[in-house]
Amino acid sequence: MTDLSRIRNFSIVAHIDHGKSTLADRLIQLTGTVAERDMKAQLLDAMDIERERGITIKANSVRIDYPAQDGQTYVLNLIDTPGHVDFAYEVSRSMRAVEGSLLVVDATQGVEAQTLANVYQAIDAGHEIVPVLNKIDLPAAEPARIREQIEDVIGIEAHDAIEISAKTGLGIPDVLEAIVQRLPAPKGDRDAPLKAMLVDSWYDSYLGVVVLIRVMDGVIRKGDTIRMMKTQATYKLDTLAVLKPAMTQIDELGPGEIGVFTASIKQVRDTRVGDTITHEKKQTATALPGFKPSVPVVFCGLFPVDANDFEDLRDAIEKLALNDASFTYEMETSAALGFGFRCGFLGLLHLEVVRDRLEREYDIDLITTAPSVVYRLHLKSGEVKELHNPADMPDLTLVSHIEEPRIKATIMVPDDYLGDVLKLCQDRRGIQADLTYAGTRPLVVYDLPLNEVVFDFYDRLKSVTKGYASFDYQLTGYREDNLVKMQILVNDEPVDALSMMVHRDRAEMRGRAMVEKLKDLIPRHMFKIPIQAAIGGKVIARETLSALRKDVTAKCYGGDATRKRKLLDKQKAGKKKMRQFGKVEIPQEAFISALKMDG
CATH number for the domain including 252? Answer: 2.40.30.10
What pTM value is reported for the model? 0.67
Range of the domain at 538: 485-595
Binding positions: 17-22, 134-137
- Tell me whether residue 64 is in a domain: yes
Considering 457, 481, 505, which residue would you say is the last residue of a domain?
481
pLDDT value of residue 153: 78
Indicate whether 46 pLDDT > 50. Answer: no
CA distance 554 to 550: 9
As for how many domains the chain has, the answer is: 5
- pLDDT: which is higher, 94 or 247: 247
Question: 274 and 352, same structural domain?
Answer: no
- Tell me whether residue 161 is in a domain: yes
Binding positions for GTP: 17-22, 134-137
φ/ψ of residue 91, rounded to 5 = -65, -45
Counting residues of the chain whose pLDDT is more than 90, the rounded percentage is: 1
The mean pLDDT of 195-213, rounded to a whole number, is: 80
- In sequence order, the 6+-apart residues with CB closer than 8 A to the CB of 129 are 100, 101, 102, 103, 119, 122, 123, 156
CA distance 459 to 455: 9
- Give the type of residue at 262: T
Question: 29 and 175, same structural domain?
Answer: yes
CATH at 162:
3.40.50.300
Burial of 127 (0-12, 13-18, 19+ CB in 10 A): buried
Question: 339 and 245, same structural domain?
Answer: no
Question: 253-257, 311-315, 473-477: lowest mean pLDDT where?
Answer: 473-477
- pLDDT: which is higher, 468 or 417: 417
Question: 332 and 263, same structural domain?
Answer: no
CA distance 498 to 485: 11
For residue 391, give the nearest of 511, 497, 504 by alpha carbon.
497
pLDDT value of residue 63: 83
DSSP secondary structure string for all residues of 130-198: EEEEE-TTSTT--HHHHHHHIIIII----TTPEE-BTTTTBTHHHHHHHHHHHSPPP---TTSPPEEEE
CA distance 18 to 6: 29
**Strand pairing of 128-134 and 162-163?**
parallel
Question: 38 and 178, same structural domain?
Answer: yes
Question: 113 and 45, same structural domain?
Answer: yes
User: What's the half-sphere exposure (Cβ side, CA atoms, 13 Å) at 296?
Assistant: 23
- In sequence order, the 6+-apart residues with CB closer than 8 A to the CB of 382 are none
- Tell me whether residue 286 is in a domain: no
Question: 498 and 460, same structural domain?
Answer: no
CA distance 554 to 358: 50
Counting residues of the chain whose pLDDT is more than 70, the rounded percentage is: 85
pLDDT value of residue 335: 65
Question: 50-64, 131-145, 231-245, 438-452: lowest mean pLDDT where?
Answer: 50-64
Considering 154, 182, 210, which residue would you say is the last residue of a domain?
182
Which segments within 482-595 are labelled E, that is strand? 483-490, 493-494, 500-503, 529-535, 538-545
